[in-house]
Chain A
Amino acid sequence: MSDLDPLLRERLGAYRNDVISQVAGPGPDKARQLLRRRRRMTAAAAAAAVVLGVTPVVVNAALHADRTPPVPVESVPPPTPSTSAPPTPTPTGSPTQTPTPTAPTGPNGRISRAQLLATTVDLPNWPSGMAEGGCTISDVRLKTNTKKTYVSELADNEFEYGDVDGDGADETIAIVACRYGEASAKQVVAFERNSDDRIVTVGRVVRTDDEFKDILAAEITSTGSVQVTVADIVPCCEIPDYIRREQVRTYEWNGQRFEQTDGPTKFGPDPRLTDLRVSMTHELAEVPGADTRRELTLVFTVTNAGPVDAPQVAFHNIERGERAGGDWARCKPAKLSDTDELGCLLPGVPAGESRRYTFVQLIPVQPGADASTRSFLVLHGDAQDRTWPDLKPDDNTVPSPIQF
């Protein structure tokens, strides 16, 4: 230790003695009174449940259902004893009034959905843009089943209960959301009660961000860890569900905040995707005889730069005239989205290889009124006829050489 050590030790020792001389504390009797009071509250809740012939959880839900007037959460006794209470201890003969084995270990942090909705809470920060839109974080009264955007709401997920911060009492894990369009920013938040039985926020387990866009579920393990199922995207709109990837990530309280302790930390590139590169040549020829149309031949060269094989290749937006040869006969219909016209699905390209595809069609000499210069799109198709995004989509389109 340095020379500073004895000086600091002496000075901080004096500090400690000074504080101790002024502090007696409310005393052990006060702690005992509080314990008795909380037990009575728990017993009263349990007795009410017995009278009604249902479990305390059900009673609590019935008493505090959304249709009833808001209940001051601070006055609601914990509905059930902790399920993660320590194992039944062996009697030690302690001369103090020791608790019964079934007593709660502290303020019961098991909070029902109705109780949380009936009070205001502080929330951890939302991702950027949410607060500006209107999702506040201070004294928030959470909504439910709202269709409005930028309103802090409680997700539909069931609450989870367990001792996540190792303080001997259960906490409640809930998922809160801020809708910003078709999707919502979400965060997994731990709540508990303080010594006044008020619902307070312990902290955020995790929230959506640029790296992943959705939280699907949260679960507390027997060791107090929180396992969160996250998804990289929200497959709304025209994005099919199978594009979404899910991961289970584990978080634990480190004394100050939740940190990830297990599971993947990133989604990274989707291993199911590959990099197709497309080039195209074309020929436009007059048709012999009386036909006034012209024959357009499109020749696509598709290179699969990897890393995975493309069992099939889907061509979109290429058909405008009458099919007149080439690979048309081998086409299977390829659907890009609900609103897109059917494309052509053909045998694909292994990673590291190239294939050539030819499409011949008869098109009018003069483009119609609705003609435009379009782009042809080529995508990777799997064995189940599903199409996939490309790792580098910029080189998956080629412009049409003519208007048609």
Chain B
Amino acid sequence: MTSTMGSRANRPPAVRTAGSAVETTITFDDFYHAHFGSVTAQLSAYTGDLGHAQDLAQEAFYRALARWDRLVRYDDPVAWVRKVAWNLAHSRWRRLRTARDHLLRQRRTEAEVAGPTPDRVAIDAALAQLPPNHRRAVILHYLADLSVSQIAAQEGVAEGTVKSWLHRGRNALAALLDENTEGVRDV
């Protein structure tokens, strides 16, 4: 048997035991408002498309709502939402399928909201040049504030692998951002 036997990265977290169910008063609305922006920011950094990221986040939060009475008892409901959203983002096929819709939406969004800051553009451009594994690790660590062990659990890889991804991603990102910054200054 030579195949990879990694654990599934997208299983829901263990349900909190009855004895520790102490924080069940959070409403879906509160949960949504508290986390929608940060989840969207992570997805935007990963996909480079804010409109797409909002769609993915909304779909993930919708799915959370559909099972909210169970999800609210999880230790970390946002982890479930983040996994679902990232699973949705990972699917190349779904991205291809909706590419046209995103283009249309992007144009509409550009007309309605202020454009991104130069620094956000630079970070999006730099992140886009990282290998997907490195990009995910950087985003989960710096934007989702996950620890190495948490990223390893989500990605189904060893912690050493995550550290390697982070190391490489961080160095590459720093170099790219310096280049981009210089480029902006030259102009």
Chain A positions within 8 Å of B, measured between CB atoms, are 2, 4-5, 7-9, 11-16, 18-20, 22-28, 30-32, 34-35, 86, 89, 91-96, 98-99, 103-106, 122, 124, 165-169, 194-195, 198, 200-203, 224, 252-256, 259-266
The main secondary structure of chain B at its interface with chain A is helix
Contact of A201 among B93, B142, B173, B177 (CB under 8 A): B93
0/1 per residue, B87-113, Cβ < 8 Å to A?
Answer: 110111110111000000000000001
Interfacial chain A residues near B54, Cβ < 8 Å: 23, 25-26
Interfacial chain A residues near B98, Cβ < 8 Å: 194, 200
Q: Are A254 and B156 in contact (CB under 8 A)?
A: yes
Q: In whole Å, how far is A181's beta carbon from the nearest beta carbon of chain B?
A: 28
12 contacts between A and B (CB under 8 A): A8-B170, A12-B123, A16-B143, A19-B37, A20-B38, A124-B93, A166-B12, A168-B84, A194-B59, A254-B156, A260-B3, A265-B3
Known A-B contacts A96-B68, A104-B66; the reply to A262 vs B119 at CB < 8 A is no
Known A-B contacts A4-B174, A254-B8; the reply to A89 vs B3 at CB < 8 A is no
User: In the complex, which range does the number of interface residues on chain B fall in?
Assistant: 35 or more
Interfacial chain B residues near A30, Cβ < 8 Å: 58
Known A-B contacts A94-B24, A195-B55, A265-B3; the reply to A106 vs B38 at CB < 8 A is no
Interfacial chain A residues near B28, Cβ < 8 Å: 28, 31, 94, 96
**Cβ-closest chain B residue relative to A203:** B93
Q: In whole Å, how far is A186's beta carbon from the nearest beta carbon of chain B?
A: 18
Contact of B70 among A4, A18, A89, A259 (CB under 8 A): A89
Q: Are A96 and B66 in contact (CB under 8 A)?
A: no
**Cβ-closest chain A residue relative to B45:** A15
Contact of B123 among A2, A15, A24, A252 (CB under 8 A): A15
A-B contact count (CB 8 A): 213
Interfacial chain B residues near A165, Cβ < 8 Å: 10, 87
Contact of B69 among A16, A22, A98 (CB under 8 A): A98
Q: Please report the C-alpha to C-alpha distance between residue A20 and residue B33 in the assembled complex, in whole angstroms.
A: 11
Known A-B contacts A2-B170, A34-B62; the reply to A23 vs B40 at CB < 8 A is yes
16 additional A-B pairs beyond A96-B68, A264-B1, beta carbons within 8 Å, are A4-B170, A5-B170, A12-B138, A14-B119, A25-B37, A26-B58, A89-B67, A89-B69, A89-B70, A94-B72, A95-B27, A167-B10, A168-B67, A224-B8, A255-B90, A260-B4
Q: In whole Å, how far is A105's beta carbon from the nearest beta carbon of chain B?
A: 5
Contact of B68 among A93, A98, A124 (CB under 8 A): A98
Interfacial chain B residues near A28, Cβ < 8 Å: 28-29, 32-33, 61, 65
Known A-B contacts A14-B119, A165-B87, A261-B3; the reply to A31 vs B9 at CB < 8 A is no
Interfacial chain A residues near B137, Cβ < 8 Å: none
The main secondary structure of chain A at its interface with chain B is loop
Q: Please report the C-alpha to C-alpha distance between residue A165 and residue B87 in the assembled complex, in whole angstroms.
A: 8
Which of B50, B91, B155 has the largest count of A CB atoms less than 10 A from its CB?
B91
Q: Please report the C-alpha to C-alpha distance between residue A6 and residue B154 in the assembled complex, in whole angstroms.
A: 24
Q: Are A200 and B97 in contact (CB under 8 A)?
A: yes
Known A-B contacts A8-B170, A11-B123; the reply to A19 vs B40 at CB < 8 A is yes
Instruction: Check: B2 CB closer than 8 A to any chain A CB.
Output: yes
Contact of B41 among A19, A31, A256, A260 (CB under 8 A): A19
Contact of B27 among A35, A96, A169, A252 (CB under 8 A): A96
Interfacial chain B residues near A9, Cβ < 8 Å: 142
Q: Please report the C-alpha to C-alpha distance between residue A306 and residue B32 in the assembled complex, in whole angstroms.
A: 68
Q: Please report the C-alpha to C-alpha distance between residue A31 and residue B62 in the assembled complex, in whole angstroms.
A: 5
Instruction: Check: B17 CB closer than 8 A to any chain A CB.
Output: no
Smallest CB-CB A-B distances: 4 pairs: A20-B37, A166-B10, A19-B41, A201-B93
Interfacial chain A residues near B72, Cβ < 8 Å: 92, 94
Contact of A8 among B32, B70, B174 (CB under 8 A): B174
Q: In whole Å, how far is B86's beta carbon from the nearest beta carbon of chain A?
A: 7
Which of B55, B70, B93, B154 has the largest count of A CB atoms less than 10 A from its CB?
B93
Q: Are A99 and B63 in contact (CB under 8 A)?
A: no
Q: Please report the C-alpha to C-alpha distance between residue A11 and residue B40 in the assembled complex, in whole angstroms.
A: 17
Instruction: Check: B14 CB closer than 8 A to any chain A CB.
Output: no
Q: Please report the C-alpha to C-alpha distance between residue A286 and residue B75 in the assembled complex, in whole angstroms.
A: 96
Q: In whole Å, how far is B101's beta carbon from the nearest beta carbon of chain A?
A: 8
